[in-house]
Structure formats: structure tokens, C-alpha cells
Structure 1
Amino acid sequence: NSFCTLLESVFATMASKKQQVTKLLKAESERVKMVELHPKEPLVICALYSGQVTLWNYESQTLLKSFDICDLPVRCVKFITRLQSFVCGSDDMQVRVYNYNTMERTATFEAHLDYIRCIAVHDTLPIILTSSDDMTIRMFDWTKNWACTMTFEGHSHYVMAVTFNPKDPSTFATASLDETIMVWNISTPVRNFMLEGHEGGVNCVEYYPGGDKPYLISGSDDNTVRVWDYQTKACIQTLPSHNHYVTCVAFHPDLPLVFTGSEDETINTFSTQTWRSEMTSSYDMGRAWCISVKPKCNKVALAFDRGLLVLNVGKDDPVMSMDANGKIFFAQTNEIVRLDVKNSVDKDVADGELIQLPAKEVGSCEGIPKKILHGPNGQYVAVLMDDDEYIVNSALGWRSKCFGHAIAFVWGNDPGTFAILENAYTLKTFKQFKLKETVKLDGAADLLFGGPLLGARIDGNVCFFDWDSLRIVRQISETADEVVWSDSGELAALVTASGTFVLKYNPEAVAEAFASGAEADEDGLECAFDLVEEIEVKMRRAMWVGDCLLYVNKSERVCYYIGGETTSLAVIQRGFSLLGYVAKENRLYCMDKERSVIAYQLHTSVIDFKTAVVREDLDAARGLLSKIPEGMRQ
């Protein structure tokens, strides 16, 4: 539909080719005035003009609960996750608090003398702020039976929005129809300062979530969006955003993008690096009233006259890479940091326990990294950016080795060997960082896969090439999202949307066929691969440890597969992705977007023993049994 078309185009700023945009939920309803995404669970809550609050699970696309609040519009709703509750404000001047699990109403009180427009919940203190058409902002403390502990006065018209500063939560900003933005401190009822410049009422205000820019952004009835430096108190940009009142603004939590919504029924997206408009579109759901984003996540919720949309834009996996020794590179926006599990993780740490590793900033990129890849021996690291540029740096000093343009990049098995897709039809290989071969492809390619053979996804098929000659070895009619090879190069796993194919590679047969000049059919050499097994599991990420295939399934369960047998290892926390395995530590590591790490013990002796049993090498299995820790021999 037109909305997905919009976001596919909008997020062309992340890459020149189409990004993955998934509609998680579309719920048609009465006018939705405010939405908020739960910070941890797959929940979204909506305040409806008809007087209800609805709670949805956007993963299962189900309406979980509906609360009849009052007969008047509910204009604002926010989660209070510490209380497993939500708080809402309505046109009867009442604030109500409900436990969203039990549906019990735990508090009701008159908060203002006129309509309540907005609510902000403090991250750590037991307080909320409410703003109203009575021109005040009020602070309430739930540990004091929801007593009003302070009233902030200074605006001369309706106060439309209130938001805490994420970098300094003792301060907050408000937006008013008196055409001003005011910044306050929760310790005093007198404002810190005022920002003037809009030529119409100000409907919305938000803080920039990153730590590198002291920015506020506001939207107004003058149809513009303004960007403010709240340290210098200067307006640094005025964006001619819409043809009608601007009702909502939101920064993307990770990408250099800002969204704006309006009564002109459009959503605009701007780059925060250039402040240029990236896309404008409308899409048949009426006026836009609210945009909610989820920290460290790609979820976006939008409220309209005719309902709610929740989308996942791009991939939620963090941009990271770990080598075999546990050295990690991690991208935070355009900054690259280095972490190391060696000597940083207590040997007695429990499985699944959160580990915070010390991080060191090593450099920054001009673009936003979308992939980081360690080379085969860990000496070099490649970073592929959203603008389809790549750079290869030394892992030790982060010094540039080479760079160029590519829509895809993979390493070969030899140091200094890699391949790129310069565009959808041009494949190039490099040896010792120098161009070796160039081939024009017969179809459009969008992904490359490294390993003993060079893989490319071309017109939905996986094509394997010989690294040296770029001769086709085999074409497989499956649309793989990932191809991972075992360290021995004997096994390959083709991960597709519906399942995974485990293949055995026959390099001797391929070499013999090439040497004899045997004719290959259009699908290449049939002798190149044997199908070992089809695993009917949707894998989020997969990797090999020896001949053991580790993966995370859609239920967030970490499993490993050896010779037809699948064993469950653990259920990981939501938001974590497989990072890698360090054999010296006998641990599998996972990481999230906040750089938190969790680890799970998986002894190589267990893997080697099970592999020997599968291969019916009983002598080797008996020899390995003594190396398995006592508690793991059952």
C-alpha cells in the first residue's frame, strides 16, 4: 500500500536499494490521538477521541484489551512500566491510572481545570508531568498518593506538549499555542528560558535522543518545523515541512532521520545530517496526530484519524562483528567502538546474566554503518555504509587499508581477499586488496555470501562461483537470506524465510570436473553439493561451531544442530542477537543494541563428542568423553 511505498522510499536514505519494511500492525478505529510503544514488550497503546484506550500486541496483531475511560476524548496516554500501568488524560480534566495486566483502575484524580493535552513520565523518579488547556503544567508524585507537588505557570495559551530531556531528566520542554517553547527544571516552578520564532501555535516538541547534539525540534501551526540548539538558544534550521498544521515530530532513535506529521495528511522525513527532505507522501488514513518510536529499535507507530499503524523499518539486529578471539566492533549511529570479552568476563558468570563490557571509541564513519565484517584472520575489518560505500580498516589501529563503492561486500577465506557488488550487475573480486576479476552478471544481484565458494543471490537464486576464475559452480533455486559455512568448508547452511538447507560441499568433485573440461548445465555442476538435511525452522541468525550449526529461532530460542539432532541451549532475552562463539572460553555470546552482552556455556568437547557419535567414530567418542565436564555428560 501507499504507506509501505512511502517508507521504502524514505529509508532509501539508509541505502540506495530497497530496505526491508514490514507492516506489523494496521488497526482501523476511531480517531487515535496518541500512541506509545512499550519500551520492552511488543505492545502499543492508543488514546482514542471516542473515549477509549486500546492495548495491542503488534507481533500477534491482536487487540489485547480495551478500556472505556469516559464519554469524552482521551487525548494522551503513556506507559508507566515500573507499575505495569498506563496513565491517561481526558477532556473531563481527569487523570486515570490502570494496571494494564489486571485492568484495575488504581487512581483517578482531577488534574487540571481544562482539557489535558499531554503526559510525560519520568524515567527514574515516581513523577509524571501533565499539560493542559488551562495553560499550566503540573507534576504529580505517585508515591504521595498522586499529590500535585508543583505547578508550572508561564504560558499564555494552551500547553499542547511536554517532554523530558533524556540527557538531563531534571529538565523538560513544553510547547504552547502562545507560539513559544519553554524549558523548565522539575525543582522550580519558574522556567529556565523561552524559545521564540514560530509564527503560529506550537503543537509538539521533542528532544534529540543522542548525546552528541543539544537539539530540540518543534512543529507549529505556521506549517514549519524548527530545530533549536537549547544551549545557545538559537534556531539552527527552519524546515518548510507541510501545507497545514504540524501535529507531531519524532527523531529516529538510531538513524539520522526525523519524522514529522501534519493535518495535511502527510508524513515528511528529513535527514538530520543535511536537514534536507528525503520523502513526503500521504496514505489514506487521514490526519496524522502522533509518531512514537522505540529506543534502540526500528519500530515506528503512527496515529491517524482512521487508526493505527506499526511498522518495522530495516533490521533490528545491532551492527556488530566479533572475531574468534572475542574482539568486538560495534556501530552506534556513525561511531565505531571496540569491546573485548577476553579478561572482561568472569569465568563464573551465569548463563544469560547481563555483562557490560568496557568500550573504546576507535573512529567514526561519514555514513551510517549497516554491516561490520571481520576478515578471515581478524587482522582487517570491513564496514559497509548506508550510502553504499565501504572501507576496510586494520583491526589494531583502525587505519584505512582500502575503500570504494559497493552495495554488498564479503570476505574470502584468504587474508586480503574479498568480493563486492559494485552494482546489481557487476561483481568484482580482490586479492591482496588489489582488483583481480570483474564479471558482468546475467541477472540482478542483491546479496553476496562468503566462504570457500563466492555466493551471490541473483534474481532470487543462490549462485556459487569459484573465487579464482569466477566460473559458476552451482546455482540453487532457493532465495537464501544467509549462507554460512562450517570452518572446515565441508558444510554450508542456506537460510531461507521458511527453513534451512544443510549441504555437503564436494571440492574434489568440482576440481575434477573443472580439470576434465566437463560440460556444466545451466545450474552448474550437479556434483558440487549433496543435500544433507532440510531443517524446517525459521532461523533469525545461524553460525557454525565445528560441524555444529548454532541458530536462534523465531521464539528467541538458541539451538544447535548436529547430524540430524537438534538441542535447545537457552532462551535469550528479547532484542539480543547472536554475536559469535569463542572456543577458548567455551562460550556463545549474544549482544543487543545497548551493547549489553550475555553468554552461554557450550563446551567444544560436547560438540566434538556428538560429532564423533554422528560419524560413528566410537573410538574418538570414547576418547572425548573424559574431556566433557561432569555436569554435562547426561
Structure 2
Amino acid sequence: MLTKFETKSNRVKGLSFHSKRPWILASLHSGVIQLWDYRMGTLIDRAIFVMSLVIEFTLDLGDLCSGDDYKIKVWNYKMHRCLFTLLGHLDYIRTVQFHHEYPWIVSASDDQTIRIWNWQSRTCISVLTGHNHYVMCASFHPKEDLVVSASLDQTVRVWDIGALRKKTVSPADDILRLSQMNTDLFGGVDAVVKYVLEGHDRGVNWAAFHPTLPLIVSGADDRQVKLWRMNDTKAWEVDTLRGHMNNVSCVMFHAKQDIIVSNSEDKSIRVWDVTKRTGVQTFRREHDRFWILASHPEMNLLAAGHDSGMIVFKLERERPAFAVSGDSLFYAKDRFLRFFEFSTQKDTQVIPIRRPGTTSLNQSPRTLSYSPTENAVLICSDVDGGSYELAEDRVVIFDLQQRLVLGDLQTPFVKYVVWSNDMESVALLSKHAIIIASKKLMHQCTLHETIRVKSGAWDDNGVFIYTTLNHIKYCLPNGDSGIIRTLDVPIYITKVSGNTIFCLERDGKTRAIVIDATELSSNSLF
């Protein structure tokens, strides 16, 4: 686990990522909702909404939804104002979720019902009844007209809401539908039970759809995670994942990998291989029980809420392993070693990379080195569940032939070393700093960044071009720096040639970015 951000607070019971901005909402057991910038590590806003423990961002980036005191409140977080309140539930509300396309909210409640609301007309348009205990969660399918719910009655239910979608959702029709609510409560056609999944021995706390496959995962107080499959006519249990030592609080499929992530009151987060249906990794806290999980809708980020705060984390590194030698780039992508020629931009597959153990998690190459004299590549991967890094607070340059230390420099923990083309200067990259030094490690300047430094390379004029999470920047030997352009997603610079920056994206794709190098050239002369 790579922890990107961590907070200390009261128990976190609800989490929701913003789809575009580096924000996450956390709702606390005390009734406070916090809005954090997890990239900067700062608290943007804090508001007290009495008993608002479940939260969700809307798609239009302006509103959020909360509820736990029998009411659903829709807020405009920019204006710090409650826009309206939805009334109808007769007991505490466990979860709320916005539909990805329609103006709907689905809510699950201790009154044993699931309700679907139209937030434009501000009315309840359907009540789903059938559970006979608290409904702990309910969520829309990402693509189909389905809802999945989990209840302490030990069942998971899948509901077909296709008829509801086909109806007109104008305010007038919603008001007319209110008069038919009693009919809908007892066998209405708006939403019907499609499957009832039985197999857990105790109350079910969470259930979630797979983003693309006809699969459902559930977690319960019987300490088990169950995997279910469904088709047009039936649904059935595929397997049971055992390992948690206490109630399973939350469980979900990873959006980009064939894994399941679950957390529990046993103070652990567990990662499971969907294909092999075995445990892959376990992360533990010493004192804190876990209560909730959330995944970023577009990025490879997860968040977990526990007794004393929350963590935002990744399960593995996304930086592709690569090595540059002259006009050549060697890099790893999709289990293959690939070769890229900068001058012709020709990209070829070289050989497959053999890796021990499972390939589902933490098995991508961590580092890659190339020896021109041997024409050989050395690839290092994390195996046996982890790796060791020897952290030093200084860098040493050593002459192998004379067996002499030519120079040393006190630095923060250095992650990457990048030599200039003429080998006269070197850039030492740590998490939040760049140190520029001479070839004998005489210090020239130090540049501090509040955002993580990701990569860098020297251009032909002795200017160091580097990237953070959201910018391409430059650094001159005298310490002057500036922004070249803003990035939507992180990239990893491999080479700078003229006004072209060659880089790798997180998925291993090569990319060339053309910049205006006039300003950099004139600045470097002074």
C-alpha cells in the first residue's frame, strides 16, 4: 500500500471522491463533514451538518448529498447552503448515491426500504420494499437499470428499475406518481426484485456491482466476502473469500484490476485476486477498525475510513520502469520489454518479461537499468510481498577504478538521479525537492515543491525540465524556476530534445510534447 494522504479525526463513516478535482469528502461520526485536498494535504472546508454521516458528490461538481437523521439534504458546498430536504424515510439513512445519468438519488434506510428520488422535482419516485431488516447500503449499476442492496436480513437483493427509467421524469408526472405510491409500495411495476441472493449466515453490510462484468461482491457480519454471478434469468454464488477475523464493513471491485478490496472491524484492509479467488495482500492498523471504502471514479486511488481518521492510498506504484541510453529508451509495458528510438519514434517489442508469482498486484517491474557495453537489461521487481529501501540522508560519488570517494552531499532521501547530457551536472530528485549539483557533488541550488516531484531530464542548454503531479516545470542552475504547462494526468519525462519532451504515461504509452523553448534558452544564458 502506498499511502498518499492521511487525516486524524473522529471516526470516518462516509467518503466520496470528487471526479475532477483532487478533493475528498469525509463525514465523521460526530456529524462533521470535511472537504480535503488530498494532493496538497490541506483542509479546504469544514461544516457541521447534524447527523450527516453518508455523503456523495454529484456529477455537476456543485452539490453534495447527505443524510442520517431520517432526512436527505442536498447541499451546494460552494454556497454552504442546503438547497432542499427530501422527506419520507422513517428511520436512519445508511447510504445515498447519485445516478450517473438521470436526476436520481438512491437511499437505503433502517426503515427496511430503499427509495429512489428525483432531485430535480424533489420527490420520491419509487419505494423498494422486501427486506425485513435494516438496509445497510444500496447503489445503482454503473451501466444497466439495476440497483443492488444489502441488508441485515442476511440477503443481497438486485432490483430491476427499467420500467422506472422508461417513465417520464418531469415534475408533473412525479406529482401524479405520489398519488399512486401506495400501489407502488405493494407490487408496483416501477422497480421489482430480480434476484434474492442468500448465503451469508449473518447480516450483510455491503454489496457492490462489478463495473463491467455481471458480478456482485458482498461482505457481512459472518466475516465472509462472497462473489456472485448473474445472467438474464438467475444469480448464483461463485465463491466465498475467508480471512477477515471480524465483521466485514465494506467491499468493492477495483476499477482497473481484477481484484476485490475489503475492509473490516478486524482493523485490516484485504486485497483478493478475483480470478484465483485468493488473498493477495493484507494491510493492518494497530488500533483502528475500518468502516468504509471509496474508489476514485477515474484515477487509481482508494480511500478508507477508520476509527481515528482516513487514508487515501494506492495499491501499487504506477510509474513505469525505464532506462535511457543515448537515442534509445528501454521500458516495461504489459509484461514485455520494449524499445523506443527517439529520433525515429519507432517503438518495438523486444522480449517478454518473466515474473514470479501472481501478476495481479505489485508484480510490475520497479526499476530497469541498461548496460550499453553488455547490451543487457537488469529488471528488478517486488516479490514475496514487499521490498526494502535503504534510506540515506546523503549522496556519494565513487570512482570504481581508484576506489575513492570523489564527493558527497547531504540531501533528503533521494529517489532518482538524473545526469546532464555532458555529465557536468546532476539533478537529485526526492519526494518534494530537487537538488542541482556539479559532477563532484558541489551544491548549486535546491528547489522545494509542495506537490510531489515525479520525473525530470536535462535539455541541450543545461536546463532541467521536470514534472510534478500536475505541471511541467523548469529549473535553472541558479535556482530560478517556472511553469511550462499544466498537466491533466501525471507523466514521466524520459528525454528532452530541442523543443520536444519525450515521456511515458502511467499506462506505459510513449508520448511527445512540443514546448516553447525560447524562454528557457534566453533564461539559461543569464
User: What TM bracket, shorter-length normalisation?
Assistant: 0.7 to 0.9
Equivalent of 2:421 in 447, 468, 487: 487
Q: From the superposition, tell whether residues 179 and 411 of structure 1 become closer, same or farther in structure 2 (CA, over 3 Å).
A: same
For residues 140 and 328 of structure 2, what CA distance do their matches in structure 1 show?
43
- Helix, strand or coil: the match of 2:149? strand
Q: Report matched runs for 1:170-185 at 5 Å.
A: 170-185=145-160
For residues 8 and 415 of structure 2, what CA distance do their matches in structure 1 show?
30
Q: From the superposition, tell whether residues 64 and 239 of structure 1 become closer, same or farther in structure 2 (CA, over 3 Å).
A: same
Equivalent of 1:33 in 1, 8, 13: 13
* Match of residue 47 from structure 1: 27
Deviation, 1:226, is: 0.3
Amino acid at match of 2:148: A
* 1:291 to 2:300 alignment: no
Q: From the superposition, tell whether residues 264 and 215 of structure 1 become closer, same or farther in structure 2 (CA, over 3 Å).
A: same
* Match of residue 544 from structure 1: 458
* Match of residue 251 from structure 2: 249
What runs of 5+ residues in structure 2 fail to find an aligned partner? 164-190, 341-346, 357-364
Equivalent of 1:400 in 341, 346, 351: 351
Amino acid at match of 1:482: Y
Deviation, 1:403, is: 5.0
Q: From the superposition, tell whether residues 563 and 267 of structure 1 become closer, same or farther in structure 2 (CA, over 3 Å).
A: closer
* Match of residue 559 from structure 1: 473
Equivalent of 2:52 in 55, 67, 74: 74
- Helix, strand or coil: the match of 1:225? strand
* 1:127 to 2:107 alignment: no
For residues 485 and 119 of structure 1, what CA distance do their matches in structure 2 show?
52
Deviation, 1:125, is: 2.5
For residues 587 and 124 of structure 1, what CA distance do their matches in structure 2 show?
40
Q: Report matched runs for 1:211-290 at 5 Å.
A: 211=212, 213-231=213-231, 233-254=235-256, 257-277=259-279, 278-279=281-282, 281-285=284-288, 287-290=289-292
What does the per-residue CA deviation read over 1:206-236, in whole Å, with 9 as the maximum and x for residues that have no partner? 2334x4x443210112221101223473322
Amino acid at match of 1:80: T
Equivalent of 1:160 in 136, 142, 161: 136
Q: From the superposition, tell whether residues 258 and 96 of structure 1 become closer, same or farther in structure 2 (CA, over 3 Å).
A: same
Q: From the superposition, tell whether residues 177 and 530 of structure 1 become closer, same or farther in structure 2 (CA, over 3 Å).
A: closer
* Match of residue 104 from structure 1: 81
Amino acid at match of 1:229: R
Percent of counterpart pairs with the same letter?
Answer: 23
* 1:602 to 2:508 alignment: no
What does the per-residue CA deviation read over 1:324-352, in whole Å, with 9 as the maximum and x for residues that have no partner? xxxxxxxxxxxxxxxxxxxxxxxxxxxxx
What does the per-residue CA deviation read over 1:20-73, in whole Å, with 9 as the maximum and x for residues that have no partner? 535x233222x433222333334332334444434344443437222233xxx4
Deviation, 1:408, is: 3.6
For residues 312 and 101 of structure 1, what CA distance do their matches in structure 2 show?
27
For residues 573 and 605 of structure 1, what CA distance do their matches in structure 2 show?
20
Q: Report matched runs for 1:356-505 at 5 Å.
A: 371-373=321-323, 376-378=326-328, 380-382=330-332, 392-393=337-338, 396=347, 398-400=349-351, 403=354, 408-412=367-371, 416-419=375-378, 461-462=394-395, 474=406, 476-477=408-409, 478=411, 479-497=413-431, 499-505=433-439
* Match of residue 522 from structure 1: none
- Helix, strand or coil: the match of 1:536? strand
Deviation, 1:132, is: 2.0
Deviation, 1:245, is: 2.6
**Contact conserved, 1:176 with 1:201, CA < 8 A, in 2?**
yes
Q: From the superposition, tell whether residues 404 and 177 of structure 1 become closer, same or farther in structure 2 (CA, over 3 Å).
A: closer
**Contact conserved, 1:501 with 1:531, CA < 8 A, in 2?**
no
* 1:535 to 2:446 alignment: yes
For residues 597 and 418 of structure 1, what CA distance do their matches in structure 2 show?
19
Q: From the superposition, tell whether residues 32 and 402 of structure 1 become closer, same or farther in structure 2 (CA, over 3 Å).
A: closer
For residues 132 and 296 of structure 2, what CA distance do their matches in structure 1 show?
33
* 1:140 to 2:106 alignment: no
Q: From the superposition, tell whether residues 261 and 315 of structure 1 become closer, same or farther in structure 2 (CA, over 3 Å).
A: closer
Q: From the superposition, tell whether residues 46 and 280 of structure 1 become closer, same or farther in structure 2 (CA, over 3 Å).
A: closer
Over aligned residues, Cα RMSD in angstroms? 3.9
What does the per-residue CA deviation read over 1:448-467, in whole Å, with 9 as the maximum and x for residues that have no partner? xxxxxxxxx78565455779
* Match of residue 338 from structure 1: none
Deviation, 1:170, is: 3.3
Amino acid at match of 1:74: S
Q: From the superposition, tell whether residues 81 and 103 of structure 1 become closer, same or farther in structure 2 (CA, over 3 Å).
A: farther
Aligned length: 472
Deviation, 1:97, is: 0.9
Deviation, 1:139, is: 1.8
**Contact conserved, 2:445 with 2:479, CA < 8 A, in 1?**
no
- Helix, strand or coil: the match of 2:54? strand
**Contact conserved, 1:198 with 1:222, CA < 8 A, in 2?**
yes
What runs of 5+ residues in structure 1 fail to find an aligned partner? 1-10, 12-19, 321-370, 425-444, 448-456, 506-528, 615-634
Amino acid at match of 1:159: V
**Contact conserved, 2:12 with 2:305, CA < 8 A, in 1?**
yes
Amino acid at match of 2:46: K
Q: From the superposition, tell whether residues 269 and 300 of structure 1 become closer, same or farther in structure 2 (CA, over 3 Å).
A: same
**Contact conserved, 1:123 with 1:169, CA < 8 A, in 2?**
no
* Match of residue 174 from structure 2: none
For residues 503 and 329 of structure 2, what CA distance do their matches in structure 1 show?
22
Q: From the superposition, tell whether residues 279 and 187 of structure 1 become closer, same or farther in structure 2 (CA, over 3 Å).
A: same
